[in-house]
Amino acid sequence: MLENSFSVALRLMLGVPREIHRYLLEPLSGRSHIKTELIKRFLNFLRKIRKSEKKTLNYVLEQVSNDVRSITGKNLYHIKSRCGIEAWQNLSPRDSIVPFRRIPESQNWRINLANELIDFRNKKIDIDGFILDETNELLTWTCTTGPS
């Protein structure tokens, strides 16, 4: 729910179509997706528990982290599979810097074009011969067509 709300807010702030490819959201906004930020915070929290001298905290963490029936275990399972790491003890907040959605190699051209069109629409740059209506049409095409 939060992930979707964040994506919708980014789309509205950028002024891009609803059908935008998800992999374009992070590069166009210039910031990490909230899902990535929450994973970093969660891993920092677990790292602090592991470094704690309190044996009870460490014991409980060991119990719940390997049990996918617990919320912590389920979260760790999803993070491990997302980052491609086997043992959760090997996870660090840096590992969570996996993009919200990976950009297909053949689609990188969309980022620069969409950024320039957004800048033109927001009057940050000037492109001779472009009209605002054409720009919006081209931005919609750039953000929505092709492989997703």
pLDDT of residue 96: 54
Domain locations along the chain:
2-32+105-144, 34-96
pLDDT of residue 92: 67
pLDDT of residue 71: 92
pLDDT of residue 95: 55
pLDDT of residue 107: 84
pLDDT of residue 21: 87
- Exposure of 79 in the CB half-sphere (CA atoms within 13 A): 30
Find out whether 38 and 3 touch, Cβ atoms under 8 Å. no
DSSP string, 73-138: HHHHHHHHHHHT-S-GGG--GGGG---SSPPPGGGTHHHHHHHHHHHHHTTSS--TT--HHHHHHH
Cα radius of gyration (the chain): 20
Which residues in the chain come in under a pLDDT of 70?
88, 90-99, 147-148
